[in-house]
Chain A
Amino acid sequence: MLNLINSDKRWVRWATFAAGLLLGLVIWEIVGWSFNPAFMAPFIGGDGHPGAGTRLVAFFGDEEFIDSFASSARLFATGFAIAVVTAIPFGILLARLTWLRISLESYILVLYVTPMVALIPFILSIMGFGFWPKVLVVVLFAFFPILYNTLEGARSVKPELLEVARSFRTSELAIWRDVLIPYTLPFALTGVRQALGRALVGMIAAEFFLSTSGLGEELMVASRNFNMASVLATIILVTVIGVILMRLAQSLEQRFAAWRGIEQ
């Protein structure tokens, strides 16, 4: 028996995995039913104990919820897009201008390790409520991971390549197209993957602490009303979105990983 459980056969692995999921759900269901519904909700649920999973399915038919979702998505997409289109070109520019890179990189590293949440009160106090301050929060959360990783790539560009390019009088455009971008892009994509997770946190933080809206607002309202089924369902939704985005970014990253060459 013990040998069977520990064996590496494919079906054993899958069976244990499925058993783990099932066991988790059963425990969740039991815990959910045995507590007050204001304290914990089961997954499937029933009379008097609304379930989180059931609520999650119901969300897709709820127009108000879809509106919140769309508003969150707009905030996330705008902020993330701004971070990507500013951080990557800036990072590549740092690959081109070595002196600029050397003088700025320490400061970029310091900003990369600073917790950006601490800046939210300043943004609130200076820019007030509205859409753009929230976008700024998302941008701040996403910008530095991308820039930091692009910078790593910028450091890996071989100076010899630039020298050869120069001695053959290569045009600036060709240097960017054939040397700088291929070298830095794979690193930038690693940054993009990291930034996705952070931007998601930034999005919810902005929706909590600046003017409430979107999924953050749904979470707040549900938790104030002790509507545990909705709280849990929203958390699951946010997590699933995070996992999906991360997977997409990972496959994109792997597609370009070959460009990093053998050294990596």
Chain B
Amino acid sequence: MTQPVANTAVPQPGPLYRLQQKFASTSVAAKIVAGLLILVAWELGVTFFAPKFVARPTNIIAVFPDVITEPEFIEATLSTLFAVLQGLLIALVSGTIIGIAMGRVKVFDRLLNVYINGFYTMPMIAVLPLLTIWFGYEDSARLATIVFAAFFSIAINARDGARSVPPEYLEVARAYRARQRDVWFDITFMSSLPYLVAGFRLAAGRALVGAVIAEFFVSLPGLGMYILSHTRSFAHNEAVVGVLMLAAFGLLFEATMNGVMRRFFPWYRREDRKD
């Protein structure tokens, strides 16, 4: 039986990990049948009750190869992906520094905590008009949205991670007169890594949403814009491929993070709840 941990984000396996577990452990047949039933219901529902342009599975499959080889689609995907990665990198570096500083230095924590938490709760979509005024209707507005979306969850988790450093480690380090640099990098940073991974996972999802919203709002070339312009011209099947691409990014990212967690921090894997 584990001790209840108060209010801190304990890194835990994400939805995809559970999904993999489920696929491995329970009857796959039931899932496949249910999936097929959903697809059939979608197909029939659209055929009989919806206008012709509405997407349905058979048409999506038909357009799928064309869309993913289309230069416009590839360009849009790369544009969004690149912006998300760039924004995540900025947020990761700055968020980690500020978060760890807050976790280890009490004054920073007391001064900044209210702001970090406040901005974290702020719906990022409401900040969008502000960011477009400050950064103009161009790429940098999208980048700013992504950084804003990602920064605060990384900082909050880095803070929790730095606070979770076992005090004995720090005492031992002091007893052996370890250098200040080693205390920061080898002890504080290393032991907050799992929290950083958890924060990064959360941030990545938010960053993707931020990128799409910014593209809608600022009309930048990217996956969000691809979806928007194709639904506007009633090419819903092509647009659905864009949505699938977004979902795939989300799942791919989850899978990578789970792999990292399992490979490098196997001791942090929490036991799955028994069914």
A interface residue numbers (CB < 8 A to B): 5-6, 8, 13, 16-17, 19-21, 23-24, 38-39, 99, 102-107, 109-110, 112-115, 117-122, 124-126, 148, 152, 155-156, 197, 200-201, 204-205, 208-209, 219-220, 222-223, 226, 228, 231-232, 234-235, 238-239, 242-243, 246, 262-264
Contacts and interface: CB of A to CB of B under 8 A. Distances in A.
Give me the 10 closest cross-chain CB pairs, A-B, nearest first.
A223-B129, A103-B34, A20-B111, A121-B231, A16-B110, A103-B30, A109-B15, A125-B231, A239-B122, A114-B247
A21 to B, nearest CB: 7
Given A103-B31, A125-B232, A205-B125, A155 B114 contact: no
Interface string B226-257: 01100110101001001100110011001000
Contacts of B250: 113-115
B54 interface: yes
Given A219-B126, A226-B133, A264-B4, A114 B246 contact: yes
B54 A243 contact: no
B251 to A, nearest CB: 7
B22 interface: yes
Interface in B6-35: 15-16, 18-19, 22-23, 26-27, 30-31, 33-35
Contact of B251 (A5, A113, A197, A220): A113
Given A155-B273, A205-B213, A242-B123, 19 more contacts: A99-B30, A102-B26, A106-B22, A110-B19, A120-B216, A121-B216, A121-B227, A121-B228, A122-B239, A125-B234, A125-B236, A201-B125, A204-B123, A208-B128, A219-B126, A231-B130, A231-B133, A238-B122, A238-B126
A117 B130 contact: no
Contacts of A243: 118, 121
Given A102-B27, A102-B30, A118-B224, A113 B246 contact: no
A243 B35 CA distance: 38
A239 B127 CA distance: 10
B216 A109 contact: no
Given A122-B231, A208-B217, A113 B34 contact: no
Contact of A106 (B31, B107, B132, B231): B31
Contacts of A263: 1
Nearest to B110: A16
Say what secondary structure dominates the interface of chain B: helix
B237 to A, nearest CB: 11
Contact of A105 (B22, B121, B217): B22
A33 B38 CA distance: 58
B209 interface: yes
Nearest to A40: B134
A120 B231 CA distance: 10
A13 B110 contact: yes
Contact of B110 (A17, A102, A112, A222): A17
A164 B15 CA distance: 32
With a 10 A CB-CB cut-off, give which of B38, B112, B213 has the most chain A CB atoms.
Answer: B213
Nearest to A156: B273
A147 B114 CA distance: 31
B51 interface: yes
A204 B126 contact: yes
B208 interface: yes
B91 to A, nearest CB: 17
A107 B54 contact: no
A140 to B, nearest CB: 13
Contacts of A38: 133
B112 A220 contact: no
7 contacts: A102-B30, A113-B16, A114-B243, A118-B246, A205-B213, A223-B133, A238-B122
Interface in B73-91: none
Given A113-B251, A117-B209, A126 B121 contact: no
A219 B35 contact: no
Contact of A117 (B114, B212, B236): B212
Contacts of A115: 205, 208-209, 212, 246-247, 250
A109 B38 contact: no
Given A6-B106, A109-B19, A118-B212, A126 B30 contact: no
A102 B31 contact: yes
A152 B33 CA distance: 22
A223 B275 CA distance: 51
